[in-house]
Amino acid sequence: MALRNIVKFGDERLRKKCREVTAFDDKLWVLLDDMYETMQASDGVGLAAPQVGILRRVAVIDVGEGPIELINPVITSMRGKQHEIEGCLSSPNQWGYVERPAKVKVTAFNRYGKEFKVEGTELLARALCHEIDHLNGIIFTDLADEMVEPEDNKKKRKK
């Protein structure tokens, strides 16, 4: 495994619609392993392939309940609303309020090409939406209705 460089806001690669994965091979597995290691090293809860410069529909998430690997993920249901502070590893010092669904259901493939479903509320729902947005060239600042100062955020995160 190896750490990959994280692409920062302003880079055109974060604005592309990523292509579906068609080969569930060892190249994909190395990408997934590297992405997870890179995310953990940066203290993140999610990372999408375009953030390491790979324009494929791949994301990893870990909100503290273990790793979730998402390949070709699709949101199949969204319910309710939540309005919380969000950030992104591609812009480590920016934070803002984003409205997201309270609950989402996603269908995706695992690294072996097997389809599975995942349901999330709270932070997981937010992470699922945020990472899938990345695969469509959308970043959270496109959606944020209010940016916050780092000090405000520090207080919020301590809750």
Q: Catalytic site residues?
A: 131
Nearer to Co ion, 25 or 122 (CB): 122
Give the Cα separation of 39 and 68 in Å (integer).
12
Nearer to Co ion, 26 or 145 (CB): 145
Residues that contact Co ion, how many (by CB under 5 A):
1
Binding of Co ion by 45 (CB under 5 A): no
Nearer to Co ion, 6 or 28 (CB): 6
Q: Which residue is nearest to Co ion (CB)?
A: 88
Question: CB of residue 112 vs Co ion: minimum separation in angstroms?
Answer: 26
Residue 134 one-letter amino acid = H
Give the Cα separation of 152 and 159 in Å (integer).
12
Give the Cα separation of 69 and 113 in Å (integer).
11
Question: CB of residue 48 vs Co ion: minimum separation in angstroms?
Answer: 6
Binding of Co ion by 88 (CB under 5 A): yes
Question: CB of residue 117 vs Co ion: minimum separation in angstroms?
Answer: 23
Residue 30 one-letter amino acid = V
Nearer to Co ion, 92 or 113 (CB): 92
Length of the chain (residues): 159
Contacts of 3 (CB under 8 A, 6+ apart): 34, 37, 38, 41
Q: What residues form DSSP beta bridges with 56?
A: 19
CB 134 within 8 A of CB 153: no
Q: Which of these segments, 20-28, 56-64, 67-75, 83-91, binds Co ion (CB under 5 A)?
A: 83-91
Residue 158 one-letter amino acid = K
Question: CB of residue 26 vs Co ion: minimum separation in angstroms?
Answer: 26
Interacting residues toward Co ion by CB under 5 A: 88
